[in-house]
Structure 1
Amino acid sequence: MLVSSQPDLAFAGEAANGREGVSLVRDARPDVVLMDIRMPVMDGIASTSAIIEAAEQENFSAPRIIVLTTFDLDEAAARAIRVGASGFVLKDAEPEFLLAAIRTVHAGSAVIAAGATRELFQYFSAAEPEKRKPESFGSLTAREREIFLLAARGLSNSEIASSEYLSEATVKTHISRILGKLGLRDRVQLVVFAFEHGLTSWESS
């Protein structure tokens, strides 16, 4: 009812469990999926992973996936982001926030439940005691590394543009190239990638 009440949104369907959710995505090809973490038959993490894999194998655009969770941060939500979710929101979030989250991820950005960002990235940072500089990071140009580090610290495109004396369009282009070279879906995965590999403390040169 909430989604259908919006003139710019359309409701694509509902699934009773994770396996049905994967089938629904294959059939309906929605732009955005609201994924419950805890479901019967197949949980939200496995379903998220299966949807991303199906999109790659069957050559269709994977939907942006928003995980719905009960707590500001739990390991399940963090694991869902690892496998391809574009963020998470609380189940008791205000309707306006949920609608904004749908529009935000559809536009290519990511959403994180309010107050959970620091804890989320600390989780990923602590999860990898031995961090190695990934080979893919070496494919970035010096300028791309600079922008990567700024984005990893949570700066917006406009803030990066102001800091680096670039246009927002140029920053957006750089971010797209960075995501492509690193095999990442969006900015939240960029930040997770940076923390997992200890890149936030490295120099860009």
Structure 2
Amino acid sequence: MRAGQKPSREPEVDATLSPREAEIVHLLGMGNSIGQIADAMGVSYKTIANNCTRIRGKLGLADVKELVRHAVERRFRGTGFG
């Protein structure tokens, strides 16, 4: 960070996420529930819930609501996922 620059309140860029984690965040941002994501990926609800916990840890987010808000904001700013 440069002198005089304010620290960002936004979590770090999602570069630390694995491709699967990035896909989950993308799907959350598109309005899918954890259950819908699990069905689409052919895994259990618990697997996606565990992934969300890891993603929140990597991004410094407190809860699933913050994770969903983060995903939606990135989508609308055009800084989402490929």
Q: Structure 2-normalised TM-score? A: 0.70
Alignment of 1:67-86 (within 5 A): none
2:27 corresponds to 1:144: no
Task: State the 1:200 CA deviation.
Answer: 7.0
Deviation >4 Å, runs of 4+: none
How big is the shift at 1:178?
A: 0.5
Instruction: Provide the C-alpha distance between the structure 1 equivalents of 2:78 and 2:67, rounded to a whole number of angstroms.
Output: 10
1:166-205 equivalent positions in 2, closer than 5 A:
166-197=43-74, 198=77, 201-203=80-82
Note the residue ranges of structure 2 that are not aligned, 5 or more in a row. Answer: 1-10
The structure with higher relative contact order (CA 8 Å, sep 6+) is: 2
> 1:176 Cα shift?
0.4
Gap regions ≥5 residues in structure 1: 1-133
Highest CA radius of gyration, 1 or 2?
1
- CA apart distance, 1:158: 1.2
Q: Which has the higher helix share?
A: 2
More strand by share: 1
Per-residue CA shift, 1:31-65, capped at 9, x if unaligned?
A: xxxxxxxxxxxxxxxxxxxxxxxxxxxxxxxxxxx
C-alpha distance in structure 2 between counterparts of 1:156 and 1:200, whole Å: 21
Q: What is the Cα deviation at residue 156 of structure 1?
A: 1.5
Identity among equivalent pairs (%): 39
Assess if the C-alpha contact under 8 Å between 2:21 and 2:55 holds in 1: yes
- Name which of 130, 151, 157 aligns with 2:34: 157
Q: TM-score, normalised by structure 1?
A: 0.31
In 1, Cα distance between equivalents of 2:64 and 2:29: 8
- CA change 1:196–1:151 in 2 (3 A) is closer
Change (3 A) 1:136 1:200: closer
How many residue pairs were aligned? 70
